[in-house]
Amino acid sequence: MSTQTQLTPTGTGRPAAAAVEVTDLVKRYPKAKVNAVDGISFAVAPGEVFGLLGPNGAGKTTTIGVLTTRVRKTSGYAAVTGIDVAGDPVGARSVIGVVPQRPNLDRSLDAKGNLVWHAAYHGVPRARRGPLADELLERMGLTDKAHTNPDELSGGQAQRLIIARGLMHGPRVLFLDEPSTGLDPQARLFVHDRVAELAANGVTIVLTTHDMDEAAKLSDRVGIVDHGELLKLDTPANLVAGLSGSATVDLDVTGLDPEHLRGRLSAVRGTAGAEVLAIPDDGPARLRIRVDGEAGAALPGLLEEVTTAGGHVSDVGLGEPTLEDVFIDLTGRGLR
């Protein structure tokens, strides 16, 4: 019998291993022309909430798939709590909890059965399974749904049950893939609160989202991903602070070529940058202009420029730069 040597220090007094470590990770699906994940690297500290933000198809779910042992990497390195997921997938599975993008509850079992049997798969002692399930059902506000079939749960309830299931075996790292996609606003908030609560209890969380508000609200640090590459990685505040311009002005404009107008607006004094957010087939094009100083002060100059160019402004919106602006700045297009 050969025993595997664990190289990562787990003893006290030494720096703890990163909860998640990804180095030059590449995944190319068979027959695909491009890499789904193209050389991503990042590390997540124990207890951190880490968000991967990017549009659909950016490679977020594939990255999570590799880390949760369901997708085989093409090259690079991926580890959870120091365990190489490719070399020791069984070991990795016992330290991770997974909340997938699509509900996959076991419909042959009721809500509590899903939790209890999940614990059984993970070797939780029989006597602890029931009380643990009751406790988690209560925390997720599902006590009265214990004997309900997953088919009869609402989207929000099902999502909470899946989170509870992922926690049944006391994982070190919880992966949440698009945790609130498809939920109504109230259910979304409830899920957000539960995630924040877990984070407060010291669970390391890696989540993916294409929703900038969710990423900014929940994450300690955000990695912005597009086309399989990690474009930028920092705290939400630093990412936004790194943008030139301190305010944004959105203009809905008709009667002009949006790209032409973008060029003209970029040249206006006090403008830090301008992007075309949307060009609908019918109706006005929307442009976002980042400005230095206050948005209101910059507005007259921008409106005048549109009028001079022969365009017509139908709506104006003032705001502060968000993660979406960071994404637009990096990729030249919106998240959606």
Partner 1 sequence: MTAVTTTEPFRRVSPGRAFLGVLGRDVAVTGKELGSFISQVLVQPFFLLFVFGKVLSELGYIAPGYAQLLLPGLLALNAFLVAVQAVALPLVIDFSYTKEIEDRLLAPLSTRMVAVEKIVFGAIRGLIGSLVMIPVGYLVLDEVSWNLAGLPLSALLLVLGALAGGASGLVIGTLVSPRRINIVFAVVITPLLFTGSTQFPFLQIGSLRWFQVICALNPITYVAEGLRGALTPQIPHLPAWLCLAALVFACVLFGAIGIRGFVRRALD
Q: Examine residue 154 and tell whether it contacts partner 1 (CB under 8 A).
A: no
Residue 104 C-beta: closest distance to partner 1, Å = 4
Is 109 a residue that touches partner 1 (CB under 8 A)?
Answer: yes
Tell me if 160 sits within 8 A of 141, measured CB to CB. yes
Verify binding: residue 152, partner 1, rule CB under 8 A: no
Rounded Cα gap, residues 211 and 201, in angstroms: 24
Q: Does 108 bind partner 1 (CB under 8 A)?
A: yes
Q: Is 97 left (phi over 0), alpha (psi -120 to 50) or beta?
A: beta
Site membership for partner 1, residue 100 (CB under 8 A) = yes
Q: Which stretch binds partner 1 (CB under 8 A): 5-13, 218-226, 276-284, 319-327?
A: 5-13
* Residues 304/313, Cβ–Cβ less than 8 Å: no
Distance CA 137, CA 143 (A): 5
Decide if residue 120 touches partner 1 (CB under 8 A): yes
Q: Which amino acid is at 252?
A: D
Of 34, 56, 72, 130, the one binding partner 1 (CB under 8 A) is 72
For residue 205, the SS3 value is strand
Q: Give the contact letters, 200-219, x = binds to partner 1 (CB under 8 A), - = no.
A: --x-----------------
Q: Which of 39, 55, 91, 301 binds partner 1 (CB under 8 A)?
A: 91
Residues 6+ apart with CB under 8 A from 66: 22, 25, 27, 37, 72, 73, 78, 85
Interface residue with partner 1 among 29, 189, 227, 246 (CB under 8 A) is: 29
Q: Which token pair is 135?
A: 């406790």
Q: Which of 1, 7, 32, 90 binds partner 1 (CB under 8 A)?
A: 90
Q: Helical H runs in 140-283?
A: 155-167, 185-200, 212-218, 236-241, 258-266
In whole angstroms, the minimum distance from the beta carbon of 161 to partner 1 comes to 12
Verify binding: residue 14, partner 1, rule CB under 8 A. Answer: no
Residue 67 and residue 22 in contact, taking contact as beta carbons nearer than 8 Å: yes
Q: For tokens 């094009």, what's the residue?
A: 285
Binding site for partner 1 (CB under 8 A): 6, 10-12, 16, 29, 65, 68-72, 81, 89-91, 93-96, 98, 100, 102, 104-109, 114, 117-118, 120-123, 165, 170, 172, 202
